[in-house]
Each structure stands twice: as C-alpha cells, then as structure tokens.
Chain A
Amino acid sequence: RKEVEQDPGPFNVPEGATVAFNCTYSNSASQSFFWYRQDCRKEPKLLMSVYSSGNEDGRFTAQLNRASQYISLLIRDSKLSDSATYLCVVTRYSTLTFGKGTMLLVSP
C-alpha cells in the first residue's frame, strides 16, 4: 500500500464550481500535513498546512482527520488559475512524502 494515496483525476469542473480532493495516509506516526500545488513542468509550491481543527485560506479549506488518516482540500468558486496538480503531503522527521497528485482542470 502506498504511504499517501490520492485520486489522480483529472477533475474537470466549470468556473465557479466547488471541488473536493481527498487523500489517505498509511503511517499513523505522520507528524505534519500539507497541500502543495504544482503547475505543469514547475516545482511544487506550498498551498496550505492542514490541521485537525481545519483551516481556511480564502477559497481553500483543508481538514485533517487523524483517526481516519484522511486529509481533504475544498476549493470553492473555482477559477481558471486553479488548474494545476494538487499534491497531498505528509511529513515525519521533516521528510516530505508526497501522493501522486490530483489534477484539476477548470474550464470557462
């Protein structure tokens, strides 16, 4: 079983839609959790950290469920510029373990 699993997509949505990405991780000793965004042929960039209490950054909401070892990302009011691959990341002793990523395509 992969350490971090994500639905690879692609998710095709119209502008203005709400889209949710899910991720599960296998190592219960994982310490920190993040969502990264990666544009085509570019490096990953930190989108947001994920906490059990949930956190929101504008149109983006992330949630962690430690008991279920499940992480989610919700994007509201999708923009064309949100088109990218979203990578779920867990850390242990500062080593990042990435999922394969979920591709999002937002169309006009």
Chain B
Amino acid sequence: ETGVTQSPTHLIKTRGQQVTLRCSSQSGHNTVSWYQQALGQGPQFIFQYYREEENGRGNFPPRFSGLQFPNYSSELNVNALELDDSALYLCASRNVSQETQYFGPGTRLLVL
C-alpha cells in the first residue's frame, strides 16, 4: 500500500451539482497532485499543490479547484458537474525533493 488514501471510493452526482473529493497524502509527503482518468484513457494532470498553494495546472477549466491543508491533505472541488466529468479521480503524493509519486486508490465519480 502507498499510504495515500482517498474518500469517498464511489460517488454518483447529477449534472450541475458540485462535488468535493478528499486525499490524505503519505506521511512525509508535502506535494499533492490530482489526475482525472476517463474510461480507456491514461490519467490526465489536473493540478498540483505544494505548501497550500497551486503550483501547476493542466488543461482543466476553473470549475476544477483545489485546496491543500497544513497537514498536506488535499481536496478537489468540481462545480457545475458535466456528464464528461465521469471518471476515476486519482490523487498522488510525493516529497518535493523526490520525483516518485505514489497514487491513492482513486474516487470513481459518475455524473448522471
């Protein structure tokens, strides 16, 4: 196990709703990244947080936002859900001085 946990494991929402996904990073890891993996695709980088600030973002609209807390845990918020937001959302943590990222088990989001 990587020590990275995510909650909830599964979630069903309807179009237009908002969702918050949570991630607890591995002990000693101060950087958290979020990825979206649609069915049949590789994970796509959403954004990264370090020292409670966003310090990198992929090609995702502003309705995807996040937070990092002093204990390095993180949230991903998605507003105005669309059907295409249905995916596996993965969180990965690492120590900023190291390259290897460790993934959590993911949250499966279904938007109806």
Residues in A lying within 8 Å of B, measured CB to CB: 4, 32, 42-46, 87, 91, 93-101
Contacts and interface: CB of A to CB of B under 8 A. Distances in A.
Contacts of A94: 31, 48, 56, 94, 99, 101
Contact of A96 (B2, B45, B106): B45
Chain A's interface: helix, strand, loop or mixed, by majority? strand
Contacts of B102: 46
B45 A43 contact: no
B103 A32 contact: no
Nearest to A101: B42
Contacts of B90: 43-44
24 contacts: A4-B42, A32-B99, A43-B90, A43-B103, A44-B43, A44-B90, A46-B101, A46-B102, A87-B43, A91-B99, A93-B56, A94-B31, A94-B94, A94-B99, A94-B101, A95-B45, A95-B48, A96-B33, A96-B45, A96-B101, A97-B45, A99-B42, A100-B40, A100-B42
